[in-house]
Structure 1
Amino acid sequence: MTQPSALVIPAGVHAGLKAHLFPGDGCEAAAILLCSRSPGVRKRLLAQRLIPVPHGDCATRTPDYISWPGRYLEDAIDRGEDEGLSVVLVHSHPGGFFAFSHVDNESDAVTVRALHAAYEADHGSAIMMPSGAIRARMYRDGIATDLDLVIVPGDDILTYWADRDENQRAPVAFTSEMTAQNSRLSVLVIGASGTGSPTIEQLLRLGFGRVVGVEYDFTEFKNLNRILNTTIADAKTEVPKVQVMLRAAESHRGQGVFVPVERSILDREAVLAGADCDFILCCVDTLEARYIADLMGSAFLMPIIDLGVVIPTRQASAKTVIADVCGRVDYVYPGGSTLADRGVYTPEALEAEYLKLNAPDVHREKVKEGYIKGMVEEAPSVISLNMRTSAAAVNELLARLYPFRHEHNSGYARTFFSLAAAEEDHTAEGKFKRGDDVELATGDREPLLGLPALGA
């Protein structure tokens, strides 16, 4: 699959852009986006800053024409040059014409040439419709090329395709039209074990055009009861888990759809491979991997769906009994509350996990805990719980791309279910306090994710 070129705009920036470009007077308005880039091979621009051009400062504003002072372009150059950010000039088409006009082409011939004269980057222009739909194009050697996709990740994930008209609506969920759009999108799955393997399987069957699986571990006999598509032969020869996923994927999707990355997500090569994707599904049981996923979601403007399962126990009559059987799914979008904001991990917990993994003598006397807290269980029989949670996570992604809930998606930032109590609870995005997100849309800035260990 040739991955589509894309401009990613956080929902908050998109809302501010739309409010400025359509003030209610029916005339064109203008703004500037400063954009970083994802560090992978795919052309993927990330809207980092919005510079509105004040309506009153424009020389002319009519329903089909705008003229604005050059000092705002100079301001964008001054801000963008130091960091090598791309400049995208945006204006509105109040009449709903979802294409660049002859006047737009003439204007770009002057302004984009001035941008490239100032410094080299992927500069371009964009138009916005009253609906919020955007079409963008970039220039190289004076030639304009449309970006295939403008994506706005928020409570809903909005997708605007250059080859569709301005009345773009998301396909109906669970239809062949949904599958067709999925074929143009890509997903990073971190982890290919208990919850990762059914997640990968579902994404492939749902038609996603590229699924990148990151997992460093190999198949063992204790895995055979909960990792899909593993065999006795795989356990005997210790086949890497991602190679098992690749074999299964090619059997029904052919070559080139599933991309195995036999590394830890803590490695630079794994981060680079994942940075080309549109979304992250985090199917891991370590806090450090969730921390990296959190940073990637912010830096590369990728929505994250993080899932986890746990079976707490208690003591009753000198026996260990099941207290609950739980699953959790968190949906995180760029600019919203992060996994850290939600308490999924803390600095103290990360430090404790590091000690456990790297200084085992510190924890030698403690019980080794896996799925079932308080019990040593090397081969827990949890495939039904894993698949229940994995299905909830994949359906969460579909609900954001192809809204089907009776209620607004903002009420489902977190879903928590208890099989023991037969209950399911939801937490709204507004219930979580957002902290400062210094990595938002930093893109390919070195060191990657602000971590020296991931530097070039």
Structure 2
Amino acid sequence: MTEALHSALREHLFPGDGLEAAAILICTRHEGERTKLLAKSVIPVPHGACVRKKDFINWPGDYLDMAVAQSEESQSSILLVHSHPGGFLGFSELDDESDQITMRSLYAGVEVIHGSAVMIPDGRVLARTYDDLQCPSPVSLISVIGDDIRLYFGEVEGQAVINVSSGAPMAFTSEMTQALARLSVAVIGVSGTGSVVAEQLARLGFGEIILVDHDRVEEKNLNRILNSTLEDAASSASKVEMFASSIERVRGKGVARPIAKSIGTREAVLAVADADFLFCCVDTRYARMIADRIASRFLIPLFDVGVLIPTMNDGTGAMIAGVYGRIDYVQPGGSTLADREVYSGESLRAESLLAASPEAYQQQLQHGYIQGFHEEAPAVISLNMLAASTCVMEFLARAFPMREEPNCNYARTMIKFREAEQEFTAESGFPKTADPGLAIGAAEPLLGIADLAGGV
């Protein structure tokens, strides 16, 4: 869920009187490699309509009917949430008995999985879902995505227990590694910056790394794609297959998941939607637009990285005018890459026209690392590593807070190496437009793009 929705839920559940309260979450459901519930809206159950005590709550069935009515057309899942003001992060026997009754009613109204959850005063949430046989299953992860990314892990058989009683694990510790082992991450673009990002994520210990890139290894990019070899270039090896093999040598089988497709394909979009985190390391505006929409619709934190070396002519020839790295953190419900003018409708149209005319495309010289200067094999790995490392550090600072200042001050980081400067833009420094696609998941057409629509 977004931080905004979590805050609204917490404010209602803990009005300050020490008594239990209740609310209902309406959740879009995404069923990929695993099932995700995307909290889309909340129905607060009015305090005055309930019988409320310190360790008991009873509320009228009218609000269940309201939730069913809202969920029926879209076949959304319903999550019943109540507070435990005393701080008990668990389900009581009374909660179990209540669920057996209410879940049956919910399933009779909308025949999909539903669930229940409890929240304690510090905001932590524990949840479980029920199938059509009324069998409960613990929710393995609840993520609250805002300036900070809060991860609440459930106890799941076969996975390490993550102690969240004192907040997030300390950054750079073995406890952080245990937490990362429970998470999935997607990297779009596994080339200059993407290979450096993916290398770090693999060695940090992510449990699953989804690699998306349709391209193949060429000799001209061996100087900036980690782990690539002359043999890979000679055989035109798939970049993602090559990198997945590298991860397997370090981490073993089952960690890397290569998707040798363009991110502009339905298969790649749905694969990325399975991830808990998204890193965008591409060089086209269209791919960034796709990543932007995935983050919004599937409630995935997005980290976007780009580098640029503009040139100028001083009368004697071309010279470097700047050496830049840009890192944007995009939280669903916040300012998007479009809001930040990373791409626009006009720039997308121009890019499409250039791609349709390769000759004109080559003449523009705006696509490469070195703007205004044609270079087949730019020696940019040092800049790529600087920007990619800063991008991964931005993730660590969000999920395992360590900064002195609030993370809201760092929605964008601009590295200006030539000037020996770094500039930071706060989340409040960008405009934010209303997002009708927030948390709608895989609703058709996928991402609102006709070309990605599923077959009838």
Could you tell me the TM-score, scaled by structure 2's length?
A: 0.96
CA offset digits 1:67-115 (Å, max 9, x no partner): 1121111111100111010000000000011111111112111111110
- Correspondence for 2:109 among 97, 118, 121: 118
Task: Verify the 8 A CA contact 2:355 2:361 in the aligned structure 1.
Answer: no
Residue equivalent to 1:93:
84
- Correspondence for 1:56 among 48, 70, 95: 48
Specify every segment of 5 or more residues in structure 2 that has no aligned partner in the other structure, as ranges: 156-161
- Correspondence for 1:214 among 212, 215, 221: 212
Residue equivalent to 1:182:
180
Deviation at 1:165, TM superposition (A): 6.2
More displaced stretch, 170-179 vs 21-30:
170-179
Task: Verify the 8 A CA contact 1:311 1:373 in the aligned structure 2.
Answer: yes
- Correspondence for 1:133 among 124, 141, 144: 124
More displaced stretch, 167-176 vs 197-206:
167-176
Task: Verify the 8 A CA contact 2:71 2:110 in the aligned structure 1.
Answer: no
Distance 1:364 1:444 in 2: 36
Distance 2:38 2:236 in 1: 40
Task: Verify the 8 A CA contact 1:369 1:375 in the aligned structure 2.
Answer: no
Deviation at 1:353, TM superposition (A): 0.4
Identical aligned pairs, as a percentage?
Answer: 51
Distance 1:236 1:21 in 2: 61
- Correspondence for 1:159 among 141, 151, 160: 151
- Correspondence for 1:149 among 120, 141, 145: 141
CA offset digits 1:207-244 (Å, max 9, x no partner): 01100000000111110111111111111111111121
Could you tell me the TM-score, scaled by structure 1's length?
A: 0.96
Specify every segment of 5 or more residues in structure 1 that has no aligned partner in the other structure, as ranges: 1-8
More displaced stretch, 32-41 vs 272-281:
32-41
Deviation at 1:257, TM superposition (A): 0.5
- Correspondence for 2:38 among 41, 46, 55: 46
Residue equivalent to 1:67:
58
- SS of equivalent to 1:195: helix
Residue equivalent to 2:243:
245
Distance 1:53 1:226 in 2: 56
Residue equivalent to 1:15:
7
- Correspondence for 2:334 among 333, 336, 360: 336
Letter aligned with residue 153 of structure 1? I
- SS of equivalent to 1:252: helix
Distance 1:405 1:411 in 2: 10
Residue equivalent to 2:439:
441
Distance 2:37 2:207 in 1: 20
Is 1:34–2:32 an aligned residue pair? Answer: no
- SS of equivalent to 2:404: coil
Distance 2:77 2:87 in 1: 26
Structure-2 change in CA distance of 1:332 and 1:177 (3 Å): same
Distance 1:215 1:28 in 2: 49
Distance 1:166 1:420 in 2: 42
- Correspondence for 2:390 among 379, 389, 392: 392
CA offset digits 1:232-261 (Å, max 9, x no partner): 111111111112101211111011101111
Residue equivalent to 1:195:
193
> Which structure exhibits the higher relative contact order, with contacts defined as CA atoms closer than 8 Å and separated by 6 or more residues?
1
Distance 2:110 2:355 in 1: 47
Letter aligned with residue 429 of structure 1? E
Structure-2 change in CA distance of 1:363 and 1:273 (3 Å): closer
Letter aligned with residue 312 of structure 1? P
Task: Verify the 8 A CA contact 1:36 1:47 in the aligned structure 2.
Answer: yes
Deviation at 1:169, TM superposition (A): 1.4
CA offset digits 1:308-331 (Å, max 9, x no partner): 000011111231100110000000
Letter aligned with residue 184 of structure 2? S
